[in-house]
Amino acid sequence: MLKIEDLRFSYSRRSAPVLNGVDLELRDGEIGILLGKNGSGKTTLFKNILGIGTPSGGTIRFDGEDLLKLPKRDRARRIAYVPQHIHFGALTVYDSILMGRVSYFGLRAGKEDYDVVDRIMAEMKLESFADRNAENLSGGEKQKIAIARALYKDAPFIILDEPTAALDPIAEAEIYSKFDEIAGNKTAIYISHRLSSCKFCDEIAVFHEGAVIQQGSHAELLADRGGKYYALWNAQAQYYTE
Ligand code: ADP
C-alpha cells in the first residue's frame, strides 16, 4: 500500500512551496493516475518519490516503510521508473529490457532471467523487435520497451511519466490492459494528460496548485457534479464518447 501524507516541498528556501500538503493513497495492485494542469506539481511529486530533492515535511510510505528514510539502494529496489523519454544507447531491444534488473542489482543474467524477458516481450508483442537497435524504433515502441523493462525489474511500485503519450488510442488501451495483467499485485502511478487514460485506472488524483483536491474512481469523481474532475471530463468528453 502506498500512503503519501501531507507532503510538502519547495525548490529553494526562498521560493513558494510547490507541494502544499499532498495526500494520496493506493492499495496494492491499484493503478492511480495524476491529472492536473501543467505546473500543478505532478512531476515534482515523482521527483520526491525518487529521492530527487528533500521534502520539507510529510511522509511517503510504501508497505509501511517511509521511503524518504530508506537508504538509496533499498528505495531503488522498491521502485521502477518509466520516464517520458528514454535513450537506450546501442542496446538491442532484448538487452534494453534485460538491463531493467541487471543495471540496478549488478546481477549476471541466467536462464531464469531470459525466460522472464521472453515472456514479457511476448505479452507486450515486442518479440519481433528483439534484435533491433532500440534507439531506431518509434516513440511508441520505445515507450513499450521502457514499460517492459520496468515490469521486468519486478519492483512492487512503478511510476510512469506519460508513458502512453506517443501511442495511438488503440495501442494505449492495449498497453493499459497488458500492464494491468502483467503488473498483478504491483502498485502503479501514471502522470497523464489524457482523460481517456482515467478509464483504465482504479484511482484518479486531481492535482491543483500542489495538492490533491480530489481522489476516487472515475465513477465516484464523475458523480461529484461540483468537482474539478466533472468539469474537466465534460470539457473533453466530446473526444471520448464518440
Ligand atoms: P507538472 O508536472 O504538474 O507540470 P511540475 O512539478 O513540473 O508540474 O512543476 C510545478 C512547479 O514547480 C512549477 O511552477 C514549476 O515551474 C516549478 N519547478 C519545476 N521544476 C523546478 C526546478 N527545478 N526549480 C524551480 N522550480 C521548478
- Our answer on whether the CB atom of 43 is closer than 6 Å to any ligand 1 atom is yes
Can you tell me whether residue 62 is helix, strand or coil? Answer: strand
Residue nearest to atom 20 of ligand 1 (CA): 44
- Our answer on whether the CB atom of 42 is closer than 6 Å to any ligand 1 atom is yes
Please state, in angstroms and rounded to a whole number, the distance separating the CA atoms of residues 33 and 159: 10
From ligand 1's centre to the CA of 16, what distance in Å? 11
- Our answer on whether the CB atom of 39 is closer than 6 Å to any ligand 1 atom is yes
Listed residue (167, 218, 210) closest to 36, CA to CA: 210
**What distances in angstroms separate CA 155 from CA 52, 73, 183, one per listed residue?**
19, 12, 10
Please state, in angstroms and rounded to a whole number, the distance separating the CA atoms of residues 106 and 7: 33
pLDDT tens for the chain, residues 1 to 242: 999 999 999 999 899 999 999 999 999 999 999 999 999 999 999 999 999 999 999 999 999 999 999 998 899 999 999 998 888 888 899 999 998 886 555 567 788 889 999 999 999 999 999 999 999 998 889 999 999 999 999 999 999 998 888 888 888 888 888 888 888 899 999 998 888 888 889 999 999 999 999 999 999 999 999 999 999 888 876 655 54
